[in-house]
Amino acid sequence: MIGRIPKRFFVYGVLTALLVSAPLHLNNYWLDVLNNVGLYVILGLSLNLIVGHSGLFNLGHAAFYAMGAYTAAILNTLFHIPILMLIPASALTAGIFALIIVRPIIHLRGDYLCIVTIGVGEIVRIALINDIFGITGGANGIFGISRPILFGMKISKPDEFFWLIWIFVAITVFLFYRLEQSRFGRALNYLREDEVAAEGSGINTAYYKLAAFVLGAAWAGMAGTIYAAKMMTIAPESFNFWESVLMFTLIIMGGSGSIPGVILGAFLIIGLPELFREFKDARMLVFGIAMVAMMIFRTGGILPPRPRKYPIDHAQEGSVNP
Amino acid sequence: MSLLRLQNLTKKFGGLTAVDDVSFDTYQGEIVGLIGPNGAGKTTVFNLITGNYKPNSGDIVFDGRSIAGMPTHTIVSLGIARTFQTIRLFQQLSVLENALAGCHCRMHSGIFGGMFHTPAQKREEREALELAMAELTFLGLDKQADLAANSLSYGNQRLLEIARALTTKPRLLILDEPAGGMNEQETAALVQLIRKIRERGITVLLIEHDMGLVMEVCEKLVVIEYGIKIAEGAPAEIKENPRVIEAYLGTQDDE
């Protein structure tokens, strides 16, 4: 029986157990690092729908992250709505924003789309700095966001945030994994492989491109809400181009279109630099070298996606190889 | 009533008229061949039918409904499936997933169904899997279902394209040079396959350069040269048609 369970599931099990026991043996500093990693896992997975599964280059994902964070921050500070109740509102705002922005540019391909998304990211950041509509607080951002309260318990310490963030990660992983194994997930992959063939096979490619963007943006918006709750203060510089690059890089490095890959990528890109604080300045250099090496030796990332499994009858093959 | 009717179809690319005032009918259950020299506009006609191009003028009527200008995926869902002249499979995905692509337009589950695997979604997924496997078996590719599409031989990749088209449950199947790159044995098997597809009640429209195949399998031929229809009729008539012979071989004066 044990032979039937792939070895990697034991590895996943051990790693999950280590993660779950982290609050017992890590100090607050390292828990906070883990919380950051968790946030980037959520962001990475949301961007993975767009970049990894659909093959649409998006280097402006921080804009959607910012939309979520600012929506939550503004509604919380102005109307005192509990921050966790604002998660759906943030998802909706970021999703609708993505719909409006991406609808006219969805026919763009590859690098053209990429350049427009960079532009969108910059426009959002600069609009926030310029205190658009007088509600974003300009370059200083928004202060005094209240702590989240869950089941009557106030979440403020890193170990409490650890559970909030990593449970959200677990839910995201579960839902996105199911989504991968469905008609929707397949449609995104067909789109990535060959758009003309996908359309010719009866797939509404424009719809799926848009759906990938909107869903990815909505999820990034939710991550933004958690970020706002965790930091209690947000500023435009937290959502700059570099953030988009980080999210993009962790996907490419970990494994484009692969959930374990994205999680590993987040640990490497966000977690690893904390281990080598002394060499912080060399971070760019190491990333650069690592990316070059990846492009040459392992183009699919460290953990590329595994093919989906389908319950089909292998009777004939089985009889050849009993 | 014809299943597919092309009425005075014209398509221009700048100054070039690729398809010029072409009209013909395809009836339910026929196998029709569209032939002509290279660059005659055959694939352009196919691309017009499947919605990849929009005609400048003229109309395309499928089953009593005008489909000119409709998006490709809508046309596929109405019952016209195609294969491509240059193989366009989803190379990195498995053979089975390529076949499943065609099932997509007959399924309904969306993001919610995908995330929560609702009973309706599971049933639909099971049915799609059965259909895809049935079509792969029909084409003799069922044993390779788990392989990546790009690991198949060239001939089998062509068959997989047909499988993907068949899983859309088409009424009209459009094959763009299905025998391209096939050896003689594979071509002979293809003739049988096209007949079997017709026996299932699917009308077949094909472009092919292999005249042996065309003459053997088609009941009606439409000949195009420089975007203009020059002849239409049974293979035997077409073979004797002086204009067709001229188009393919040139006249004696040219020599």
Question: How many interface pairs between A and B have CB atoms less than 8 angstroms apart?
Answer: 117
And the tokens for A243? 């953030």
**Is there a contact between B109 and A194 if contact means CB atoms under 8 Å apart?**
no
Picking from A176, A201, A208, A214 by the largest number of B CB atoms within 10 A of its own CB, the best residue to mutate is: A201
Q: What's the ipTM?
A: 0.90
- CA B220 to chain centroid: 16
A-chain residues near B129 (CB < 8 A): 310-312
Distance from CA of A186 to the nearest CA of B (A): 8
Of the candidates B81, B105, B114, the beta carbon closest to that of A185 is on B114
How many Cα atoms sit within 13 Å of A33 on the Cβ side? 17
Which residue does chain B place closest to A172, by CA atoms?
A: B115
Give B16: exposed, middle or buried? Use CB within 10 Å, 0-12, 13-18, 19+: exposed
| B88, B92, B104: residue with CB nearest A202 | B104
Q: Do residue B73 and residue A316 have CB atoms under 8 angstroms apart?
A: no
Q: Is the pLDDT of residue A34 over 80?
A: yes
A312–B90: do the CB atoms touch at under 8 Å? Answer: no
CB spacing of B113 vs A182 below 8 angstroms: yes
B67, B82, B88, B142: which to substitute to probe chain A, counting the most A Cβ within 10 Å? B88
Chain B environment of A208 (Cβ under 8 Å): none
Q: Is B123 on the interface with A (CB under 8 A)?
A: no
Does the pLDDT at position A3 exceed 70?
A: no
Q: How far apart are CA A308 and CA A305, in angstroms?
A: 9
Q: Closest Cα of chain A to B25: distance in Å? A: 22
Contacting residues for A36 by C-beta, under 8 A, at least 6 apart = A270, A271
CA distance A295 to chain B (A): 18
Q: Which residue of A has its CA nearest to B87?
A: A197
B254: confidence class by pLDDT, cuts 50, 70, 90: very low
Tell me the pTM: 0.90
Q: Which residue in the set A203, A311, A316 is minimally distant from B73, CB to CB?
A: A203
Yes or no: say if A265 and A44 are a contact pair by the CB < 8 Å rule. Answer: yes
Return the residue in B73, B97, B121, B151 with the most chain A beta carbons within 10 A, the one to mutate for interface testing.
B73
Measured between CB atoms, does B78 come within 8 Å of chain A?
no
pLDDT at B177 over 60: yes
Flag whether residue A307 sits within 8 Å of chain B, measured between CB atoms. Answer: yes
Cross-chain Cβ contact A199/B104 below 8 Å:
no
SS (H, E, C) A150-190: ECCEECCCHHHHHHHHHHHHHHHHHHHHHHHCCHHHHHHHH
Query: Would an 8 Å CB–CB cutoff place B111 in contact with chain A?
Result: yes
For position A319, what pLDDT does the model report? 35
What is the overall mean pLDDT for chain B?
A: 91
Largest CA distance in chain A: 72
- Beta-carbon neighbour count of residue B253 at 10 Å? 5
Per the listing, tokens 């789109």 go with: A191
State mean pLDDT over A111-130.
Answer: 93
Largest CA distance in chain B: 72
Shortest distance between the Cα of B12 and any Cα of chain A, in A, equals 21
Q: Output the pLDDT for position A294.
A: 84
The model's pLDDT over A36-79, given as tens digits with 9 standing for 90+, comes to 999 999 999 999 999 999 999 999 999 999 999 999 999 999 89
Query: Does residue A106 or residue A213 have the better pLDDT?
Result: A213
pLDDT in tens, A289-313: 888 888 888 888 888 888 888 887 6
The number of angstroms, rounded, from the C-alpha of B73 to the middle of its chain's C-alpha atoms is: 14
DSSP A264-319: HHHIIIIIHHHHTGGGGGGHHHHHHHHHHHHHHH-TT-SSPPPPP------HHHHH
pLDDT at B152 over 60: yes
Q: Is the pLDDT of residue A166 over 50?
A: yes
- On the question of pLDDT at B255 being above 50, the answer is no
Candidates B52, B104, B109; nearest CB to A201: B104
Instruction: Determine the pLDDT at residue A19.
Output: 87
Q: Higher model confidence: residue A27 or residue B136?
A: B136
Q: By the CB < 8 Å criterion, does A55 face chain B? A: no
Quick check: A219 and A45 in contact, CB under 8 A? yes
Q: What is the percent of chain A where pLDDT is above 90?
A: 57
Q: Nearest chain A residue to B136 by CA: give it.
A: A312
What is the rounded CA–CA span in Å between residue A313 and residue B8?
Answer: 50
